[in-house]
A and B are shown apart, each in its own frame.
Chain A
Amino acid sequence: MSTTEPAATPEPRPAPRSPGPVDGPEGATASPRRLARQRRRRALARFWRDYRANRAGLFGLAGLALFVLVALAAPWLVQPADLSVTRAPGLPYQPPSLDYPLGTDNFGRSVLDLVIWGSRVSLLVGFLATLVSVTLGALIGIIAGHFGGATGTVLMRVTDWFLVLPTLVLAIALATVLSRSVFTIILAIGVTAWPTTARLVRAQTLAVEARPYIERARALGGGHLHIMMRHVLPNVMPLVLAQTTLLVASSIIMESTLAFLGLGDPTTVSWGGVLQDARNAGAVSSGVWWYLLPPGLAIALVALSFTLCGRALEGVLNPRLRDRS
């Protein structure tokens, strides 16, 4: 690679972190660390101001906060013993009442309890699967963008190939082949969802690496790892964040889909699993709407919240999109 050769022309621009007059009047006396902190705080404030202007994004954020709070508070809201199939507290198929605000299921468990408890697995899988796929995608994207050449070509070929495979079919195949557990579901979603992130990150990496300060870092003797971690990654992160938020939405839908197809962990309560139970118990033909409606609405609301947040983030970070919505 040509990365270690000295730069042809010395870079005249000051380094981003160097203390100097460019950083404003207080820059002359402040330490570099304090300056960096100040700059970061100002950037964050600006970011929040832009984000706040997007009303749909605020709705998404509120919905998200609500669901995360419910999932965290679930052990205090629900007695785990009430979720037992054999010692259910109520009678089967009770319509909504004061005791059971969302009615009861075929065993006599409160549907509200099931939905509250189910939010834990659904959100957990959503977040962890996204973490797996974003880490994988960012890693492959940065490496492919940074090294280019044969490495990049091979990595992008693999990415394209994964992109072509039908995600649902591959996730189903993986979930079938591995043993039934929450971990399997996370892996199946994570391994199938990374190619879009990889493409995005690679494109962004190429754009960042074309900038002069990367050349400067190289001229100063920065190695591959240093450039990728210290210079490229921080610049790629914001877009990855927006992509992550969108991915969580699809991961949660995918989790419920796999659970609905009977590929989830049968010992845990998740929204998709509740819907599968409802269908197997004949709730569809007997019209027990209170058993079917709440879990699906919960999935849709969470997915919508994440989608709205992701789009708002994209709008803030990509000004070309902003004047569009």
Chain B
Amino acid sequence: MTGTQAPVTAAAGSAPDRGGEGRPGRGKALRYIAGRLLTSLLSLVAVMFTAFFLFRILPGDPVRAMTEGRSVSVEQMEELRRQFGLDKPLPQQFVDYCLGLLRFDLGVSYQYRVPVVELIADRLWPTVLLSGTGTLLAALLGLWLGTRSAWRRGSVSDRVNSGVALTLWSVPTFWFGLILIVLLASGADLFPTGGMMTPGTTGAVAVTLDVAHHMVLPVATMVAVLYAQYLMIMRSSLLDEMGGDYLVTARAKGLRDALVLRRHAVPNALLPAVTLIFLNIGLVASGAILVETVFSWPGLGTLFYEALSVPDLPLVQALFIFFSAAVILMNLVADLVYPLLDPRVRS
């Protein structure tokens, strides 16, 4: 509980600075923040419960699946069961699981024999790098094209833009990646077919360039599939704003068209898009599962895919919790930041 207390005071401290709302406003803001925190906490607890029961109803014996193809004695299998705590009754397992969660102990991977938390920490950064870049570029491209589309609504460029975006949106991510590999990696040999860097590369500049080279195709795949939703949401929210009287006023003041768009229309239309960006940042961790699998990118997505095929239950379970927690956290951040961005929500 002490951990959740800190952000409350930190966020509340900055609240009265805006507009000097005084006491009543502050109490309201505090209540809002506390409410959001409590909801998020409840969601998180629900995710943890789900994770436990979901992966305990798995038919089949994990120890048998793990040792498949190897000759192991009955004693060895009993030993493995004891090691992973699978010999205990279910309620006992549940208590152990909850106690472990409190210490950030999510068990030991069947496959790698190391704590899953270490595995996740190891693989987190490649995923953040890949999906972060992909999400950022997709958002920028989508917002830019969406703005242009809405401003020249009904024009040829609007129709082409929307059409291309919708088509790419309908394409399965993994297939688009495969086609890119066939065309540009194994076909034209312009880019590597997978991985994150060429083994044996040294020197900071060389490594950076090498990683960037490896990133081109996976990032292109992510952007192609993701940018459509930014385009669509920006287009429709800007179209909503375009009927606004304040735009007529701005034009009547003699502002140039580009200035009316940039200074007046876009800032207001940006709000729904900002919400979407926050939601997608939460999905950054899980969103790359397909892209990473196709391009053998050494991140969380590949880890998840590999864990599925074993099946490495503690790892799958931990990643499930991690992916969901990321979304819940980002939702919370979006809820807390939104009132700062949009005064209309504040009251």
Chain A interface (Cβ within 8 Å of chain B)?
Answer: 56, 160-161, 164-166, 168-170, 172-174, 176-179, 249, 253, 256-257, 260-263, 272, 275, 279, 284-287, 289, 292-293, 295-296, 299-301, 303-304, 307-308, 321, 324
A176 touches B169 (CB 8 A): no
The SS class assigned to the A binding surface is helix
Residues of B contacting A293 with CB < 8 Å? 179
Give the complex CA separation of A260 and B55 in angstroms: 22
**B 138-167 binary contact with A (CB < 8 Å = 1; else 0):** 000000000000000100000000010011
Residue of B nearest to A292 (CB): B178
Q: Of A257, A279, A284, A324, which is in contact with the most chain B CB atoms at under 10 Å from its CB? A: A284
Given contacts A166-B283, A279-B178, contact A304 B331 (CB under 8 A): no
B172 touches A257 (CB 8 A): yes
Q: Which of B27-35, B106-114, B205-213, B286-294 contacts A (4 or more CB under 8 A)?
A: B286-294
B84 close to A (CB within 8 Å)? no
Q: Which of B73-81, B89-97, B250-258, B308-316 contacts A (4 or more CB under 8 A)?
A: B308-316
- Distance to closest chain B CB from A278 (angstroms): 8
- Distance to closest chain A CB from B51 (angstroms): 8
A sample of 19 inter-chain contacts (CB < 8 A) reads: A56-B163, A166-B323, A168-B287, A168-B289, A168-B290, A169-B286, A170-B320, A176-B316, A177-B58, A260-B174, A275-B175, A284-B181, A289-B182, A296-B171, A296-B176, A296-B178, A299-B170, A300-B171, A308-B166
- Distance to closest chain A CB from B269 (angstroms): 13
B316 touches A256 (CB 8 A): no
Between A and B, how many residue pairs show CB distances below 8 Å? 122
The SS class assigned to the B binding surface is helix
A304 touches B166 (CB 8 A): yes
**B 65-86 binary contact with A (CB < 8 Å = 1; else 0):** 0000000000000000000000
Contact pick for A262, options B167, B178, B309, CB 8 Å: B309
The A-contacting residues of B in range 95-122, CB under 8 angstroms, are: none
Residues of A contacting B311 with CB < 8 Å? 176
B interface residues, how many (CB within 8 angstroms)? 48
B186 touches A304 (CB 8 A): no
Given contacts A164-B324, A262-B309, A324-B236, contact A303 B43 (CB under 8 A): no
- Distance to closest chain B CB from A148 (angstroms): 19
- Distance to closest chain B CB from A168 (angstroms): 6
B3 close to A (CB within 8 Å)? no
Give the complex CA separation of A295 and B171 in angstroms: 11
- Distance to closest chain B CB from A254 (angstroms): 9
Residues of A contacting B286 with CB < 8 Å? 166, 168-169
**B 275-316 binary contact with A (CB < 8 Å = 1; else 0):** 000000001001101100100000000001100110100001
Pick the 6 closest A-B CB pairs, nearest first.
Answer: A296-B175, A303-B170, A304-B170, A166-B286, A300-B171, A169-B323
